[in-house]
Amino acid sequence: QVQVVESGGGLVQAGGSLRLSCAASGTIRSINAMGWYRQAPGKQRGLVATITSGGSTSYAGSVKGRFSIARDNAKNTVYLSMNSLKPEDTAVYYCNAQINSGYGFRDYWGQGTQVTVSS
């Protein structure tokens, strides 16, 4: 079995910073891309940032220059450093990982972590 668990959410004032972590565990042969998505109340879940196994990154336009994604392949962990946070960044943040547990790659999602930015 594979688990993906996020941590690091919380309440922060506008202009502040937070760092999210996401660790994959269980029967893992390899991990392809890992990423962060977010869903605000009344909105669809959308991409925040992704990173390939080789370290190539991509970002949503709204977070470019403020957020940074990184991963530690030895720990099967992905991080999201969020700076200059704005109230519109408030959402539940979900981690996604493309994991091969022996039966081909499939998407795994974490349970989500709440990020609230106060004005």
Query: Which tokens go with 65?
Result: 């220059």
Share of the chain above pLDDT 90, in %: 99
4-20: pLDDT as tens digits: 999 999 999 999 999 99
CA 115 – CA 37 distance, rounded (Å): 12
pLDDT at 43: 96
64-80: pLDDT as tens digits: 999 999 999 999 999 99
The amino acid occupying position 68 is S
**25 to 31, 64, 68, 70, 105: CA distances (angstroms):** 11, 29, 23, 18, 15
CA 117 – CA 13 distance, rounded (Å): 5
